[in-house]
Structure 1
């Protein structure tokens, strides 16, 4: 659909529609009804998300631990929002973000297919027998009035009412459009019998769903045409199958912008709808007779074709569930083989190649499908920042000529000996090259992803997004500080006076100790007290080191072991090291919170009065609130006094 309506095709499509509208006013009425119906669905989706305050996303992640729960969730959510496309795309987004399992996603998609039958029953029972325009008008008025309110809750309710009103008004226009064809254009003359009719109307139903991106809209058109006598009952059955098959295109579009996890679910959806449609076509005469028998038992008249179509739609979707549910475990195995698992989140595996010779790094977890909802967008953003943090630690270790084993938790004694050993030529990598190759690409992808997050965010989600944005910036600033540190460090590795060389060895060792400390965060994930203690010790050790290093430089300066030029260079490079420590700590404090709001971060480095040089200007002010995190009971517990976070 998006490809068809590119700028080159759009004027042609509009001109053709304009000619058709002037040729037959009935077509304009019908098209307006379809347009209002689709617009109503969009308003209903947006309003439901705003009205529930993100509850749909939270229910999805919490209510899918069993297959039957996933089926129930898919059925219920589709019945509420009347959009299987929304629920399918939502499931793909949550699965790609790692918030639900593949089993849960398959259950949701299967249940969603059954949930589409509720719309057909609603219209067949009520919508085609009641003057929906009279019901729609007050809903439209109330929806517009409430939708202009600033409060998200009332605005969401207004969007829901406006969506329902547009749905009702669109259905009424579709009824009027088909009814006006009588005498002007009898579509019944275009009916086909036998398998030719089945194939033709199957394709029509599929194309209509692809163009409108809504099987509900196709079913409403089918029901309206059937009720007005413009469509034969047998052809309507085939069109309903085509509408169901057309929903796979929506899943396919969603999978194109997703990762392998999302593609697995899209493939499962295609398999389910494809198998269901194939079986329904093979036994279509038997299904039609079964519908007649069930209609007789339920007291449905022989000529109540709209009700019988709703019954048929329900029956063949139930048939699909019965056929496919026993094969879900086998389906999961096949899909996992087709779309293998990606690299684990936050992996810090050290590859054997020299870092500068490794492939250029780009974002691994960001995908377009995650932009559909706030929770999924924030989740993949958190995953990508973990990836960037792992790369940052590798680049800083390489920039300060530390052994790769420092990222794997090497003993402190071994680190002490390593920084005093000669640095091999293969270990002397250029920090500028490493930044361009492994940091800039990933960070630019993160910035681009955040710029495209035009979804509604709750206040706490906005705070988390702001903290994550600052965390990415802190990681980049840490690498830039390492680049500055390396400029002098590179010059002092071999021919520097002993006092200078030893001082730079101390700076490198302190950088390694910072990386070792932050590397332990993953081992204590979820333990807030242990994390607070780690950050507290991290900050205390940094302050102690800063004070002792400055005193040592001043003493060496008085003893003439250093001259003024060397002393100022060492103090400048100590500043860069403290910048590395501070930015790394601020970023890792946000990532350790795993989506919780971080209210205080590491205090900017404040030099002691005895320092030779004045500190550089800080880039952003600090807050003084204590670091806090929600406890299990929903309250907040104070963590004292961790790092001053920004």
Structure 2
């Protein structure tokens, strides 16, 4: 055998060049069309046909099923896609990946790209000097496209020639004459190759070249293609290892879908190959069973028909597949993490602007619902259960006279400070490193403001809490009544915000919130007038009056900031940041 170590290195180098070209082309296409594709994904409905179409188009455009599935896993991790939506997109991606096989078959075998590949690199390189970003991306696409076919040409040349190395054919024949066991063996080879190379497109290219060189017959090549369908799922499953259970379920659904498809195809393997052979003959080509040159087209046809049929058949079983993977991957609650650790923020969310914003929003909501809400209620000497109950605010205040003895500062340090810092860090990183639009940048700024407002609420309620504890048990009924009035106002807004974000009739509660917001200044004035009356009547001391004046401002600032936080976290807005104190925008219920 005349195939030595140097030849093996040439083969590996050719494969590396092919993969590099594929990556450059895919990355450029992702930059060109990725923002639009992600936008479509993030706003998808649960329509399964739309999901399949979306998955097909994204994969066909960016030429990478791995990139599509990674995107889907990331979006699932951020809860931008439901499990059923994710499954339908992945189904479409499986069809979209067949475009690559046809690209290689037609341009790599039917058309000689070697003559124009290098000129294409030069042509694409000229675009990289353009000032406009989209022109640079087009240049990257052209360069990647050319390098891909240069790598493919090198691969074909680096593959050992059967005529010069008859030992290879003799070696392979031992494993191609085992009947159905050979099919299973080459299915395993296709799976392992894809696992190692981490690219089904590269494995497909190797398979097509081996068939064109006469290494393996049509049946074994088809078996390898089935193996590639299983092997390609490893990318998403690896990405989901460090993600939440939503992403793990999505990745597992990809594996289940492809394995089910391979299983039914194995049952119908030989009849299906005969059907493909009939189609090839009908198209005027020679039989792939007798002519090695006809195998690449037949394999591409097999790959396409299999994936289309598999998607069409399993499209009606998305919900059973979803239920199966839900049993395979149990729910893992986010509050299993220590309180001071972020629940939704990790480096993976910084892959796309959409996942970063979704995760920042979830973390901010979690901070409000599980830390800020608790701190504010306890600082008012009120239990959370009473806020969430149907008891009237006046009665809630009347029954909550015993001080809860909490340290607001300590609660801030243990439950808020670290998470607040991480939210700001991730938000700033997303703004500085991700290709975000003006609208996305505005949304991140809104989330930053919401978190600053929450910190300010805690500061104000900490100041208020000390005087509540001091004066609630006072013998002076006037001062005690004023602080009960303060508490009742905060209890009321907390309850309305809770109902707004949890009830079905959110619009009604939103209108109540807006009514309170519009009346804040009037209430501040009325509160000061009431305090003046108490002072003039010598009903409170000078110290009491000073505390009441300051705390009247604190209460109204707390209410104002709570409303702003509710608007920023639980409403969709066109624009918000006209100012941090006055927010006059058109809003619609989320």
Q: CA deviation at 1:248?
A: 1.6
2-side partners of 1:583 and 1:144: how far apart? Answer: 53
Instruction: Report the counterpart of residue 568 of structure 1 in structure 2.
Output: 546
1-side partners of 2:219 and 2:97: how far apart? Answer: 20
Give the alignment partner of residue 280 of structure 1, picking from 254, 262, 265. 265
Within-5 A mapping of 1:105-116: 105-116=86-97
Contact 2:496/2:509, CA 8 A, preserved across alignment: no
Q: CA deviation at 1:247?
A: 1.3
Q: Output one character per residue of 1:301-347: Cα deviation in whole Å (capped at 9) or x when no partner.
A: 23122222223323433453365344333223334455567889xxx
Instruction: Report the counterpart of residue 586 of structure 1 in structure 2.
Output: 564
Q: Does 1:504 align with 2:504?
A: no
Q: Please, what TM-score do these two structures have when normalized by structure 1?
A: 0.77
Within-5 A mapping of 1:443-522: 443=420, 446-447=423-424, 449-450=426-427, 453=430, 454-495=433-474, 497-522=476-501
Within-5 A mapping of 1:229-244: 229-231=214-216, 233-244=218-229
Secondary structure of the residue aligned to 1:120 is helix
Contact 1:601/1:627, CA 8 A, preserved across alignment: no
Q: Output one character per residue of 1:456-494: Cα deviation in whole Å (capped at 9) or x when no partner.
A: 212211111121122123223322332232233323332
Quickly say closer, same or farther: Cα 1:37–1:484, change in 2 above 3 A: farther
Q: Does 1:543 align with 2:521?
A: yes
Contact 1:61/1:100, CA 8 A, preserved across alignment: yes
Secondary structure of the residue aligned to 1:600 is coil
Secondary structure of the residue aligned to 1:250 is helix
1-side partners of 2:106 and 2:155: how far apart? Answer: 16
Q: Please, what TM-score do these two structures have when normalized by structure 2?
A: 0.83
2-side partners of 1:580 and 1:153: how far apart? Answer: 46
Unpaired segments ≥5 residues, structure 1: 1-22, 345-350, 352-357, 604-623, 632-646
Within-5 A mapping of 1:30-429: 30-52=11-33, 54-61=35-42, 65-178=46-159, 183=164, 187-191=168-172, 192-193=175-176, 194=178, 197-231=182-216, 233-302=218-287, 303=291, 304-321=294-311, 323-339=313-329, 360=339, 363-365=342-344, 370-391=349-370, 392-404=372-384, 407-408=387-388, 410=390, 414-421=392-399, 423-424=401-402, 427-429=404-406
2-side partners of 1:182 and 1:443: how far apart? Answer: 68
Structure with the larger helix share: 2
Unpaired segments ≥5 residues, structure 2: none
1-side partners of 2:528 and 2:59: how far apart? Answer: 66
Contact 2:190/2:226, CA 8 A, preserved across alignment: yes
2-side partners of 1:122 and 1:156: how far apart? Answer: 20
Q: Output one character per residue of 1:439-469: Cα deviation in whole Å (capped at 9) or x when no partner.
A: 3465455346546644321221111112112
Secondary structure of the residue aligned to 2:381 is coil
Instruction: Report the counterpart of residue 435 of structure 1 in structure 2.
Output: 412
Secondary structure of the residue aligned to 1:546 is helix
2-side partners of 1:164 and 1:527: how far apart? Answer: 52
Contact 1:48/1:81, CA 8 A, preserved across alignment: yes
Secondary structure of the residue aligned to 1:627 is coil
Secondary structure of the residue aligned to 1:128 is helix
Contact 1:26/1:180, CA 8 A, preserved across alignment: no
Tell me the matched-pair count.
575
Quickly say closer, same or farther: Cα 1:478–1:626, change in 2 above 3 A: same
Q: Compare 505-514 and 445-454 and name the one that shifted more.
A: 445-454
Contact 2:162/2:214, CA 8 A, preserved across alignment: no
Q: Compare 311-320 and 550-559 and name the one that shifted more.
A: 550-559
Q: CA deviation at 1:62?
A: 5.4
